[in-house]
Amino acid sequence: MRRLLVATTNPGKQAELRRLLAPLGAEIVVPDEVGLDLDVPEPHDTYVDNATVKATAYADASGLPSIADDSGIEVAALDWGPGVRSARWGGADKVTSLLEALPAGSDRRARMVCVIALAIPGAVAGTAVETFTGTVEGTVAEARRGDGGFGYDPVFLLPQGVTTAELSEADKDALSHRGRAVAAALPRLRAVLSDA
């Protein structure tokens, strides 16, 4: 069976990406399933650069087509940050830190952004990389709501009036930034895996 490596060790992302990639009918594997334990720095200032460096590192190490994502929340009151720093922003409890950074009257407009990088090993000039972006607009809720998802999901409030943590997995996959990025990537992934 054709194999695609999901280049993340985050259990929440692994589960979500396995669901989103299921329509491919491929074997979706994660790093520990192929014996990889890489420490890939993400020092860059753009989602594209961070996702690209991760996907490339894993594709080069595994010899498999690999996807990696970089994603974040961007909040108007924080000058559209923390953005690419979202995973490391705010300490151990990022959600509480975000709520505390937004006192009453703050501009709570926000968006979630995800860039998926697809790295294809064996291209003529090394590893070829393509990127796909998904964005969803919303606001930051005033308190945590819901027990689904991970990361900032409990406080990312959609225009429909629910946080992404209050959605079913299927509804979240259809609406989320990561779901939209994977949907954009699926036609290319099908083509790549059909050639594998």
Catalytic positions, written as ranges: 70
Please state, in angstroms and rounded to a whole number, the distance separating the CA atoms of residues 68 and 81.
Answer: 21
Q: At what angle do helices 177-195 and 11-21 cross, to 10 degrees?
A: 60
164 burial class (0-12, 13-18, 19+ CB within 10 angstroms)?
buried
CB atoms within 10 A of CB 16: 23
**Distance (Å, whole) CA 119 – CA 98:** 33
Contacts of 91 (CB under 8 A, 6+ apart): 97
User: At a CB cut-off of 8 Å and minimum separation 6, what does 150 contact?
Assistant: 10, 12, 13
The two three-digit tokens of residue 86, written as one number: 């979202």
Alpha helices, DSSP H only, in the chain? 11-21, 47-62, 94-100, 169-175, 177-195
